[in-house]
Each structure stands twice: as structure tokens, then as C-alpha cells.
Structure 1
């Protein structure tokens, strides 16, 4: 990072996927006033206490899909829930978001279970869930951990008695490996398969032609990072040193995304619809909008 900023004097940084890396990038960008666009990492702090005029995000905060699922679970009539995740920032923030909405809408999180990242020994925790018999379970896992958790949850027979809900990364990029165990699972995220809008259809077609595979949420976020950059550069005649003008243009723009149009909050995080998705085969099919135009509270942002 130091080399890119000091030696190469780059105008713009784009990255990253991992929240820990993105936090370090955000600090370096803030200290040097370098433009930064985060295309994935969901760490709440990037557009919370770390917010800055020159820092933007095209994806989500960990709070957003989790808060939406808390509302969904409460509206489905569930009164008590257990949460389970890895003991790391993304999992902790996700559980907090779910708990905030679930309890605000009359539910109660009766137990918060976690295990060290990236552990996948779930058996003891699943036994605890089975004994407690909650109305619902909320989880944040991704990648290989998500595959094993969903399979173990089904193997324990819990999917037949206790509904499992999750942030969308539980079933994004993991469905083929999860197979039958994932069928019917409901998750929340800012993108879904089968949105059936002209904008999304044209994006998916163009992406498939160019890359010979179907786009996912990561492709959409990358595309929109480029859209944010284009909006800012158009407003400043290509001069990225005009940070105030760049920020003003992005803040007032309505970004025409494949996920649906979104705006940018004052803290520079998308104000966006969060979709409820249901696993059908190998797709996360849209089951409608869970929460419309959800803005992260940007706690700690001093812009």
C-alpha cells in the first residue's frame, strides 16, 4: 500500500475483498487523501468511524443484509433465535445487525454461539442448538465454512425442525458444493438471481458473453465500483485531485446498477434494496425485497 501511494503515486485504489485488508487500505487512503473504492469488504467501520470524503464503497456493510434478515425473521413470527458464526469482525457485525432488527421487532436472541475462525467443528454447537429448540437460527458463514455448516445442519436433521436463515454469503458461490442440503434456504443480500429487470438481464448477458460464466454478487459490486469512478471522473474532467467535486457528484448520483438503482449515503455506502432469496437448484432466486432502500446507520462517521 505504501509503495502504491508514495512511490507510484496512484490516483485511485480499488480493493479489497477481505475486511481486515480493506481496513488497512482505508487507513492508508485516509491518511494520504488517496481515492479509495471498496468493491466488497463489508466492515462497518469503513463507512463508520473510518469514513472520509475520499473513501467510497460499492458493496454493503455487514450490518445491512443482517438487519434485513432480523426484520424478516421477526415478521415470520419467530419469537426466539440462536445465532452462530465465526469469532471475527464480519461474523460479529452480522450477528449484531440481525439481533438489532429481530429484537426491535419483538424477537429475542437467546444465545450467541461462535467458534474460532476458520474452524469447522460444528458438532458440539449443533447439539446445543438441538437441545435449546429455538424458533430459528441465524448464521454468518462463507466459502468452505458455509458449505460444511449447511451440510452438517442438514445431516443433524435440524433443517426439518428449526428454520436456518443467513446473510447471503452462506449460499453465494457455495450451492453446487452444498447440494440438496441447501435447498429451500432463505438468505438476504443486495443481489439475487432472477431479478428479471431489463438492466440486470442485459448485464448478465454481456457478462456471460465476455467471461463465459454467469455473474454473481462480486461481479455486480466490481461493475458498480467502476460506475462510481466514472461518475466522479466525469464530474471533475478526469482530475481525481478534486476530491470535494468527486464526492459531491457521487453523493447526488442515482447509480444504475444491475442490483437495482441505488444512491450513496453521506458516509459513502450504498442505500439499497436488500433482497430475500430462496435456494432453488443452483440459484439464489429472488423472493422479493426484504427491506427497501436500507441505509447503514454509519455509526461513528464524522463527515
Structure 2
């Protein structure tokens, strides 16, 4: 009897150790195909860098990244999320477009699981539809654009044409810019999300002769727009202002010299002068042989934030309330500097005005000119009545 009891205890001990060592699975749904696939690659690689530096652990907890390519299709992303939810994965991140995020988040949060956005922060989830299981590591979508309005004012632009794709993030972009811009918007131009030819829009800009344009086009569309704008000769006569993710490091390479002199707004730059950021840039370049984009930085920050939460609960995501409480503390070192959470679980952070200039080695990079917004809080948080 004693022998059987000892054997049972031994088996139970080994079972407990096996359970403790099982990695926490993180669902990472992102866009890896289509011309926008490089964004998903940078999100994935920034997150993986943090995991590699932790020896396959975040916060001392073994983790496994379960990656799915959504192909920039909301239906694909929802199907992937539903499969992962059914398999018991309790923690998610990775989506890089707002329309895709809108299809994923409800599946995750309704199951009582946690989604932490490494990139988009659409207005729909920042106000009345805020959720205790939904966090944003990057920004609320309007943030770069409200900063764009502030920048346009400071740069003395009085008459501006604004352009963006006709989807949630694009509409948020133009609304955000108009919220703070004090001059005249000559035209609001909405393009297709996958548009590649902007000759009609560029001809319209030329005819309107604004002081500047403000445009938001991520990924391949942004590359095409900037190149065509430069080739049309407008880059030298009508300044371009845009959010940093409309001219990231990969886009700078793809557009050649067309973007020199363009202005951007953002929360971070590869030239950011703080030790954590400098080390990240060096480590990312060493690991992947390319300059990190804002997306890579945001994903790295997301991983570090998740690490703080996992450490607090010892990797037990069944302790959902404790995990959420730990995330709200935001107890990690952000590469961008200041990082805190608003009541709607979106960031409170500083934003900067930058200009695309040649660095000492002759390569184009965003040079930080000055801080233009301190401790930015999105306007939608007032409508968020966060459930307990």
C-alpha cells in the first residue's frame, strides 16, 4: 500500500513538473503575404527577438508563438482566431491592420481571453466598446494624426489636402488630423486600401496647390504613393507630412531618395537616444540584417509587456484578473521612453516631429526635431466605461 502511494505521489510530481514546464502559447495572427507582408514580418521578428533574448521565455516563463498568416483578409483572421480559441490559447497579439483586428478581437475577448494589440488601435475599441481583456501596446489610431495636425500648425501650413485609404484606420487618420489642424482642409481624398496607381490623386493635388499634404498609406500603397509623388516633382514644391508608419525603415529603402525632406510624426525613431532603444536597434540589426521599423519596436515592447504580466502570475493565464492587473501596471521599460495606460487601456505617451534626412553614413532616416505632444491621451477614453 505504501509502495503504491509513493508511486502515485511520484507520478503526480512528474505530472506537475511537466505541466509547469509546458510553454504558454501565444496566438500571433498577422499579415505575412501580400505587399504589406513585411509589416507582419517586422512585428513577428521584433516579438521573436524578445523571446530569443529570454532564452525562449518571457518573464521567466516558457512561451511558444503560434503564427498564422491572415493574408490581409478579416475572414481568414477570424477563422484563425476561432481555431486558436477552441484549442485553448488564451493570449493573442500580432494583427497589423484595423479592419482585420475588428474581426479578431471579439472572438478573443468574448471567450474571456486577452488580446494585446502590437499595432492598430481603432477608435471602435477605444470608447464605448472598450473591454477589460483588450489592451493596446502601440497607440490609439488617431494619435499620430492629431500630432500631425499639431505639426502642420507649427510648420505654418495653412491650406492642406489630406489623403488616406477608405477603411477604419484611414477614416481615423483624417478625423484625427482635422481635430487639431487649425487651417483649411482643401480636400479629403479616400483611396483604396490596395491601391497602386495614384496618378489621379496626384493630379488633383497639383491643381489644388496646397501648402502641404497630409497622407496616411501604410505598406506597399505608401511606397507607391511616395515614389509617384516624388516622380511627379511635387516632393520639392508641396511638402508632405505623414505618420511615421507611412514612411518606415523598409519603405525608406524601397522609395530611394524620393522621401528626403518629408516630415513624419511618431512615438519612436531608430535615432531615439536612450540605452534600451539603442541596444534594441543593434540587436535587431545583428539578428535580421536590417533596420527595425516602428512595427518591430512595438512588437518588442508588446513582448516585454506580456513578460511583465506572465511573471506576475507565474505563467498561469487562468489567473485572468491578476494578469490584467499586472498589465495595467505597465511594469516594463519601453523603448520609446514614457509608457503608461489610460483608463481605456490605451497608451499615454509622447509624440515627436521628425524629418527624413541623410545620416552620417548617407542613408535616409527620420531625424527627431522636437517633441510636439506630451503625455498624449486619446479622446475616446471619456466614453469608455470599463467593466470590472
Partner secondary structure for residue 298 of structure 1: helix
Aligned pair count reads 299
1:106-154 Cα distance to aligned partner (Å, 9 max, x none): 3221210122222233222222212212222100012221122112222
Please name the residue that 2:32 is paired with.
none
TM-score, structure 1 normalization: 0.92
Paired residues for 1:152-171 under 5 Å: 152-171=228-247
Partner secondary structure for residue 274 of structure 1: strand
Which has the greater radius of gyration?
Answer: 2
Q: In the alignment, is residue 274 of structure 1 matched against residue 354 of structure 2? A: no
- 1:3, distance to aligned residue in structure 2 (A): 1.9
Q: In the alignment, is residue 50 of structure 1 matched against residue 126 of structure 2? A: no
Equivalent residues of 1:275, 1:287 under 8 A apart = yes
- 1:46, distance to aligned residue in structure 2 (A): 3.1
- 1:209, distance to aligned residue in structure 2 (A): 3.0
Task: Return 216-225 or 37-46, whichever deviates more.
Answer: 37-46
Task: Return 126-135 or 244-253, whichever deviates more.
Answer: 244-253
- 1:47, distance to aligned residue in structure 2 (A): 3.0
Cα distance in 1 between the residues matched to 2:299 and 2:192: 30
- 1:254, distance to aligned residue in structure 2 (A): 4.8
- 1:73, distance to aligned residue in structure 2 (A): 0.3
Match of 1:292 among 374, 377, 380: 374
Equivalent residues of 2:163, 2:188 under 8 A apart = yes
Please name the residue that 2:49 is paired with.
none
From the superposition, tell whether residues 129 and 212 of structure 1 become closer, same or farther in structure 2 (CA, over 3 Å).
Answer: closer
Please name the residue that 2:41 is paired with.
none
Cα distance in 2 between the residues matched to 1:199 and 1:292: 20
Partner secondary structure for residue 280 of structure 2: helix
Partner secondary structure for residue 258 of structure 2: helix
Partner secondary structure for residue 283 of structure 2: helix
Match of 1:5 among 73, 81, 85: 85
Please name the residue that 1:19 is paired with.
98
Please name the residue that 1:77 is paired with.
156
Please name the residue that 1:127 is paired with.
203
Cα distance in 1 between the residues matched to 2:82 and 2:100: 13
1:152-174 Cα distance to aligned partner (Å, 9 max, x none): 22222222222111111221121
Partner secondary structure for residue 129 of structure 2: coil
RMSD, aligned α-carbons: 1.8
- 1:21, distance to aligned residue in structure 2 (A): 2.0
TM-score, structure 2 normalization: 0.73
Paired residues for 1:106-145 under 5 Å: 106-145=182-221
Gaps of 5+ in 2: 1-80, 358-362
1:252-277 Cα distance to aligned partner (Å, 9 max, x none): 33541111131122211111112222
Cα distance in 2 between the residues matched to 1:154 and 1:218: 25
Equivalent residues of 2:230, 2:258 under 8 A apart = yes
Partner secondary structure for residue 48 of structure 1: coil
From the superposition, tell whether residues 79 and 150 of structure 1 become closer, same or farther in structure 2 (CA, over 3 Å).
Answer: same
Please name the residue that 1:264 is paired with.
341
Gaps of 5+ in 1: none
Match of 2:329 among 230, 252, 265: 252
